Amino acid sequence: MSHPEHPRDDPAKPVTISYIAETAGVSVPTVSKVINGRSGVAADTRARVEALITRYGYRKSSPVQRSNIMELVVDEIEHMWGVEIIRGVQQVVREHRIGLVLTEFGPDRNTIRYWIDDTIARRPECIVTVAQLSVNEQNQLRARGIPFVVLDPTTELPGDVPFVGATNWNGGRSATRHLLSLGHRRIAMISGPGHLYCQARLDGHSSALRSAGLPVRDDDVISAPLTQEGGHSAALRLLRGAERPTAIFAGNDLQAVGVYQAARSLGLRIPEDLSVVGFDDLPIAAMVSPALTTVHQPLTEMAMAATELALALGRGETTSQTGLELATRLVVRESTARPGG
Amino acid sequence: MSHPEHPRDDPAKPVTISYIAETAGVSVPTVSKVINGRSGVAADTRARVEALITRYGYRKSSPVQRSNIMELVVDEIEHMWGVEIIRGVQQVVREHRIGLVLTEFGPDRNTIRYWIDDTIARRPECIVTVAQLSVNEQNQLRARGIPFVVLDPTTELPGDVPFVGATNWNGGRSATRHLLSLGHRRIAMISGPGHLYCQARLDGHSSALRSAGLPVRDDDVISAPLTQEGGHSAALRLLRGAERPTAIFAGNDLQAVGVYQAARSLGLRIPEDLSVVGFDDLPIAAMVSPALTTVHQPLTEMAMAATELALALGRGETTSQTGLELATRLVVRESTARPGG
C-alpha cells in the first residue's frame, strides 16, 4: 500500500493538504477528516496520512476554534512532586483563564487506551506531559496541530520535541563537590533507575570525583528505586561493607530518608558518622531530623515554564527556544559535616 | 421587584418553566436562557430566576448533552492531602471514562471570579469541591442542574447539600482513649482553626477525657494553624509550663512534626518523655523518627466516594444517602508509650 512520492516544487515550503492526499493516495476530504479528528477513515489510511503529516510538518493555516482548555498528563501522581507540578501549571492557567484537564494514567497504562481519542475530541490548546507518549500518540497530536511539551523528560527526546527539565548534571556535580569540600574522600552514590535525569545526576557526581583526582569505584554506586525503601536497602549494603563510605549522595529525597533509617539501625549518627545529601528539596527535606542537605529542583517553575511554552505553541507562536533546563541549586542544611564530625 | 407567587396545583410535583417565568414576572425564553447559561439576561433578573429555581428545585426533564467532563475544585492544593484526593478522583473518572478539569483557586480567591462562568460554559456532568462555594455560585449551579458534592466540609452545610467527610469526632476520641489506656492523665490537644472537622476532633478528645472522669483544662487546649510551625509554637507553650502534659494530641500530622521539633529543642525524648499522636496518617507519619502514631483519615476513599456520588447525581440518579462520613482508625506506631517511658 505504499505510494510514490511526488516531486515538491520547493521543499522549504510547508506542504499542502493536496500534496499529502496525492502522496497518500487518498482524497483531500479524507486528509481533512484525519486532521480534524473526524471518523469515517480506515485505521491504516489514517495511520498513513498521519505519518505523512508528521514527516512533512503540515500545519493548518486557519486557526482552529479555541477550546480554552489544556491538558496535563502524568503516569502516576507521586507524593513528592505531584503538588509542586500541579501548582505551577495552575498558576499559569489562572493567568490565561484556561481550564486544566488532568489525566493520570494510573498503575496500568493500558487501562486508558482511550486517552488519545478523548483528548483529541476535547480539542485542547496544548498538552504538558510528564508521562511518555507513544510515537503513535505523538503523531496523532501532531496531525491535529495540538502541541505538546515534555516536562522533566525521562528519556532522550528527538530534537523537535519541546521540553523543560532541570540541570540534573550540574546538580549532581554540586552535591558531590560540597561533600569533597568538607573533606570526604569515600563518597557513595545511590542512583535511580535508568531515567535520563538519574544518569545525569550520576554523571555529575562522577565528574566531580574525577575533577578532584579521585576514582569512581563500582562498589560505591548502587542503583535502587527512587523510594524510601530503595534508599534503605541500598544504604544497608553500602554501610555494612568493611570500609564504609563517610558520605552518601542519594538519588532523591525519599531515598535519603531511607538512608537515615539505615544509619539509625546501624547506630551511625548523621552527620557525625555519615553525611547525607538528597535531591529535589521537597517539604520532607526540612521536616526530617537532622534537616536534609539537598539539591533544589525548581519543579513548580519548571511546570510554569512548560505550561507557558505549550500555550505559546498552541497560539501558533514560534519560539526560538523549545528545549530548556532550569537551574538546580544546593541547599545546605544539617545532614552534612566534615568526616568524623 | 418582588412578584406574587401563584398557587400551585400540587406542591409535591416539580415546578415547570412556565411557573417560574410567571412567578418571576419574565418570559419563558428568559428562564430558558438562565437555565442553559446563555447571555442576554439582566443580572438582577438572572438572580431572581436562579433564586426561584433553587427554591423550587426545578430540574430539566430532557437530558442535557453529556460533556464527559467533571470538575474538581480546591482552594489551594496542599502537600499533605492534594495527592491523596486527586488519586481518588482519578481512579473513578478513569473507570467512567470522564475527563477531569482541576481548578485551584489559589491564594487569592478573587483572582478567578470568572470560575463559575467558565465552569458553566464547560457544562460538566458534576462537581466535587473541597473549596467553599458562595451561595451565588451554588445557586447558579443548581439552576443549570449541575450537581456538586462537598468533600471534607469545613463548615456546617444546609441539609440538602451532598457531602463526604470522615468520622472526625470518633477519630479524636480514639486518639485520646489510646493515650488514656497507656496511663496518661495530662493530655494536651493542639487544635486547628475553626473548621468543622477540627471542632469535631477536639470534641472527641474532650469526650474521651470526660468519659474517663478527667477534667478538660483550658490550659491544655491550644488552637494553632494546621502547619508544622503552628504545632511547633503551640508545643513550646504547652511544654514550657510548670506542670507539663505527658502527651500531646496534635490537630494533624504536620502539627505533630512541629511537636517533635519542639520536644527535641527542649531535650525531651519521644515517647519516653512525651507521647505524640497526629491526625491524617499521611506518608510523612511513617517517615519521621520515631514513626508517628496517628488517626488514619481515608482521603483517597473519601475522594472516590464523593466522585461516585457526584457522577450518580449527574446522571440524574436519586440516591437515598447524600451525606456520609467514612471511618477513621487509629494507627499505633512508635511515638506513644506509658508516661515516663
Q: Classify B197 as helix, strand or coil.
A: helix
User: Going residue by residue through chain B (341 aa), what tens digit of pLDDT does each one get?
Assistant: 444 455 555 555 556 777 778 888 887 778 777 776 667 788 888 888 888 877 776 665 544 567 899 999 999 988 768 899 999 999 999 999 999 999 999 988 877 788 999 999 999 999 999 999 999 999 999 999 999 999 999 888 888 899 999 999 999 999 999 999 999 999 999 998 888 899 999 999 999 999 999 999 999 999 999 999 999 999 999 999 888 999 999 999 999 999 999 999 999 999 999 999 999 998 889 988 899 999 999 999 999 999 999 999 999 888 777 899 999 999 999 999 999 86
User: Do B53 and B74 reside in the same domain of the chain?
Assistant: no
* Domain region containing A55: 1-62
ipTM here = 0.77
A260 pLDDT more than 80: yes
A290 in contact with B at a CB cutoff of 8 Å?
no
pLDDT tens figures, A61-95? 544 567 899 999 999 988 768 899 999 999 999 99
Q: Classify A202 as helix, strand or coil.
A: helix
Q: Which helix (H) or strand (E) holds A187?
A: strand A187-191
User: Do A135 and A282 reside in the same domain of the chain?
Assistant: no
User: Do A220 and A245 reside in the same domain of the chain?
Assistant: yes
- Contact between A101 and B69 using a beta-carbon 8 Å cutoff: yes
Rounded CA-CA distance B266/A325 in Å is 43
Q: Classify B200 as helix, strand or coil.
A: helix
Residues of B in contact with A118 (CB under 8 A): 68, 97, 99
Rounded alpha-carbon distances, angstroms, from residue B155 to A282, B110, B130, B163, B323: 31, 20, 11, 11, 14
Q: DSSP character for A338?
A: S
CATH of the domain at A100: 3.40.50.2300
Question: Is the residue at B340 inside a domain?
Answer: no
- Contact between A284 and B289 using a beta-carbon 8 Å cutoff: no
* Residue A103 to chain B, least CA–CA distance (Å): 7
Question: Is the residue at A261 inside a domain?
Answer: yes
- Residues of chain A with pLDDT > 90: what percent? 65
User: Do A136 and A279 reside in the same domain of the chain?
Assistant: no
Asked if residue B307 lies in contact with residue B89, where contact means CB atoms within 8 angstroms, the answer is: yes
User: Do A184 and A275 reside in the same domain of the chain?
Assistant: yes
User: Do A151 and A190 reside in the same domain of the chain?
Assistant: no
Question: Is the residue at B161 inside a domain?
Answer: yes
User: Do A146 and A189 reside in the same domain of the chain?
Assistant: no
Residue that wins the pLDDT comparison between A172 and A157: A172
Question: Is the residue at B58 inside a domain?
Answer: yes
Question: Is the residue at A339 inside a domain?
Answer: no
Per DSSP, which regions of B107-244 are E strands?
127-129, 148-151, 163-166, 187-191, 221-223
Cis ω for the linkage preceding A11 (within 30 of 0): no
Residue that wins the pLDDT comparison between A43 and B75: B75
- Give the one of B100, B104, B264 whose C-beta lies nearest to A101's C-beta: B100
Tell me the one-letter amino acid at A126: C
- Contact between A106 and B112 using a beta-carbon 8 Å cutoff: no
Contacts of B92 (CB under 8 A, 6+ apart): B303, B304, B307, B308, B311
User: Do B221 and B288 reside in the same domain of the chain?
Assistant: yes
User: Do B28 and B52 reside in the same domain of the chain?
Assistant: yes
Rounded alpha-carbon distances, angstroms, from residue A34 to A15, A52, A53, A69, A141: 16, 11, 10, 21, 11
Rounded CA-CA distance A181/A166 in Å is 24
Contacts of B71 (CB under 8 A, 6+ apart): B100, B101, B102, B103, B119, B122, B124, B126, B127, B128
Rounded CA-CA distance A267/B156 in Å is 50
Question: Is the residue at B337 inside a domain?
Answer: no
The total of structural domains in chain B comes to 3
DSSP calls for A134-154 = PHHHHHHHHHTT--EEEES-S
Question: Is the residue at A332 inside a domain?
Answer: no
B97 in contact with A at a CB cutoff of 8 Å?
yes
Q: Of B16, B40, B62, which residue is a domain's last?
A: B62
Question: Is the residue at A126 inside a domain?
Answer: yes
Rounded alpha-carbon distances, angstroms, from residue B316 to A31, B20, B145, B163, B312: 40, 21, 9, 17, 7
A87 in contact with B at a CB cutoff of 8 Å?
yes
User: Do A100 and A50 reside in the same domain of the chain?
Assistant: no
Q: DSSP character for B328?
A: P
Residue A249 pLDDT: 98
User: Do A177 and A280 reside in the same domain of the chain?
Assistant: yes
User: Do A153 and A77 reside in the same domain of the chain?
Assistant: yes
- Contact between A283 and B79 using a beta-carbon 8 Å cutoff: yes
- Contact between B90 and A97 using a beta-carbon 8 Å cutoff: no
- Contact between A104 and B97 using a beta-carbon 8 Å cutoff: no
CATH of the domain at B10: 1.10.260.40
A204: confidence class by pLDDT, cuts 50, 70, 90? very high
